[in-house]
Amino acid sequence: MPRSGHCVSRANISKGALKVLYRLKDAGHQAFLVGGGVRDLLLGRRPKDFDVATDARPEQVRALFSNSRLIGRRFRLAHIRFGREIIEVATFRGTTPAEEGGEEQVFHASGRIIADNVYGTIEEDAWRRDFTINALYYNITDYSIWVFADGLADLQTRQLRLIGDPARRYTEDPVRMLRAARFAAKLEFTLHPDSVAPIPAMASLLDDVPSARLFDEFLKMFQSGHALACYRHLREFGLFRHLFPDTDCWLDDPVHAADALLIERALENTDRRIAAGKPVTPMFLFGVFLWRAVRTRAEQICAATDDLSEIQALIAATDEISSRQARRIALPRRFGFPMRDMLQLQPRFDTRRGRRAMSLLGHRRFRAAYDLMLLRASVGEVDQEVADFWTDIQEQPVDEQRNRFGLTGRRRRPAKRRRRSGSSD
């Protein structure tokens, strides 16, 4: 497609991406903007990032850019940094299998590709891509767009379709099923029936995907502004149960309709925050997804023993459920510990008198726990009076807060610290 036939302009491509494209071209290499960046520009959207495909090998790219580094084992890539922007540069992938036993291409027993650094031509690279709408290449040499696999036609009809045999492509990389749900949600496209059909029977392949990789996919699905739509597609395709089994097992039970509504409202709030440019954290949605399972397990623990308080049972249940969940999606410790705090603080909102109640306001996880409590109140799990109390008291001066917590006496002075004797003084 010549420049006159499309709307992609260099004015809408980042300066960093243009620098990479031109330097590769000037060094005698083919250089194309590829995939989502081209797709989004053709749709009139603003791309989140720009990827480049080239015939230069990773080591050649590294030699051309001092601000680059090579990453990846499964796919070897170059990341070129321009301030906060990172341009990902990939060498054209080949379709000819490496020699048996070679290190360039390694398969799991299930058929999943573990490592794949077989290089080829742009034509081979196009057929290696997942969806037809991502097999679009913008050529920096003459500003034309190279179209493969009827990708432009699918873009115009807003259809999401896998390249090649869907069952084989999902076997090679089960994460493509998650990408199908994510792109359908993000672009508001319809997934082609042939691409949908194998998913229910193949969804279990996700169980063998490394948990760290699934966390990366979680961020893309739920922190890109289309969390609710993505969640609904995951449920529709039978994928969600392989990501959050302790959550999915009760979602279709009418008895738990309020808990299911809580999840949808949390996802709606997440999308609104992202649209408003506000920060979001994965630990909050993890906590929302797991709250029902944690609460149920805590009730079971309390019923089975008289030795633990409600709080202690909740702590035990949180540890158990979150540890089991981590085997599916690895939540890094910097998110995991705050999530546990957020869940374990929930019973403390029921107490509105005394020093312990007032100390909750100063807890470092108060805000996240408070937001979850508000969601619970919105679906009738917490009395609205309780939610109103904690909302109102945050706006009060300290003396009024003390009065409402029933702390009307004189404030206690902090105990003086004793000086230790010894030479260290």
d(CA 87, CA 42): 20
Active-site residue 388, yes or no?
no
Catalytic residue of the set 40, 51, 55, 259: 51
Active-site residue 49, yes or no?
yes
d(CA 52, CA 67): 16
Q: What is the dihedral of CA 156, 177, 292, 317, to 10 degrees?
A: -150
Enter the DSSP assignment of 131: B
Cβ–Cβ under 8 Å, residues 33 and 13: yes
Nearest of 223, 226, 237, 231 to residue 170 by alpha carbon: 237
d(CA 70, CA 59): 8
Helix (H, G, I), strand (E, B) or coil at 100: coil
Please state, as a whole number, how many other Cβ atoms lie within 10 Å of the Cβ of residue 420: 7
* Residue 129, both tokens: 């891509």
d(CA 357, CA 343): 16
Catalytic residue of the set 40, 55, 125, 130: 130
d(CA 259, CA 242): 19
d(CA 212, CA 340): 19
Phi, psi of 414, rounded to the nearest 5 degrees: -65, 140
Helical axes 282-304 vs 211-222, angle rounded to 10°: 120
Active-site residue 51, yes or no?
yes
State the amino acid at position 300 in one-letter form: Q
Q: Which residue has the tokens 């030795």?
A: 307
Cβ–Cβ under 8 Å, residues 342 and 284: yes
d(CA 319, CA 202): 30
Please state, as a whole number, how many other Cβ atoms lie within 10 Å of the Cβ of residue 186: 19
Q: What phi-psi label fits residue 150: left (phi over 0), alpha (psi between -120 and 50 degrees) or beta? A: left
Residues annotated as catalytic are 49, 51, 130
